[in-house]
């Protein structure tokens, strides 16, 4: 008994069509998986209480555009040091000084340079900052003689919040003294998420999805 087999059609055209199909499914799967990893990273950053601004520093890209068979996806962040510190957990210490200055709710959100306020960039409208030592507690930087409006805002337009206990305001003879900064030697950041695990899960899901699509085709 003899069995004869033959390919019907142009083999080169058949292989070309197969490569086009494989390339299409590969690029589609990589693009979907890359987007999922990016969204999962952003979700975890938001879930850690770090806000939309930091979450939105996470970006993605699928490349190259000219060869679907060599397609790849990349997910990265434009704030790698901040993300890495919260992913690994880190201790931030004062460099070039004795203390880290943590702004309270009474301090303005931005300094004279347009960035997050520091003792060096406090607007002059708040006056000079006064160092207040405290036994057994972190020292403070206080602005004396600032004004509080009827709406609960101090001079400079920053909201004063006394309910959280962080931005304490006390009345003095010639005005109001407000705590602008709490001084600490270091800050410990806890590990808040595991982005590498999310990426590994995305890789595994991508290969499974691609295999399923190619098998179905």
Query: Are 144 and 101 contained in the same domain?
Result: yes
Query: Are 70 and 119 contained in the same domain?
Result: no
| 104/182 Cα distance (integer angstroms) | 7
Cis, bond preceding 64 (omega within 30 deg of 0): yes
Section 61-67 average pLDDT: 76
Would residue 76 count as lying in a domain?
yes
Reference 187, options 92, 103, 112, 111; nearest CA is 92
**What digits encode the pLDDT tens for the residues 37-54?**
999 999 999 999 989 999
Query: Are 63 and 136 contained in the same domain?
Result: no
Would residue 4 count as lying in a domain?
no
**What digits encode the pLDDT tens for the residues 69-96?**
678 899 999 999 889 988 888 777 776 6
> pTM for the full model?
0.58
């Amino acid at each position: 008994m003899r069995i004869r087999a033959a390919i019907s059609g142009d083999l080169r055209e058949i292989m070309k069509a197969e490569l086009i199909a494989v390339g299409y499914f590969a690029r589609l799967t990589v693009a979907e998986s890359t987007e999922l990893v990016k969204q999962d990273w952003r979700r975890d950053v938001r879930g850690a209480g770090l806000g939309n601004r930091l979450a939105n520093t996470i970006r993605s890209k699928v490349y190259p555009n000219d060869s679907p068979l060599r397609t790849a996806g990349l997910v990265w962040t434009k704030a790698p040091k901040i993300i890495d510190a919260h992913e690994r957990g880190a201790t931030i210490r004062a460099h070039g000084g004795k203390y880290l200055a943590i702004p309270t709710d009474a301090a303005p959100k931005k300094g004279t340079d347009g960035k997050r306020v520091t003792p060096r960039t406090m607007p002059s409208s708040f006056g000079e900052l006064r160092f207040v030592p405290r036994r057994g507690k972190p020292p403070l930087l206080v602005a004396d003689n600032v004004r509080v409006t009827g709406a609960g805002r101090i001079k400079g337009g920053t909201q004063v919040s006394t309910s959280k206990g962080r931005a304490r305001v006390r009345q003095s003879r010639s005005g109001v003294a407000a705590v602008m900064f709490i001084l600490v030697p270091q800050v410990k950041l806890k590990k808040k998420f595991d982005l590498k695990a999310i990426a590994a899960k995305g890789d595994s899901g991508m290969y499974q999805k691609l295999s399923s699509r190619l098998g179905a085709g």
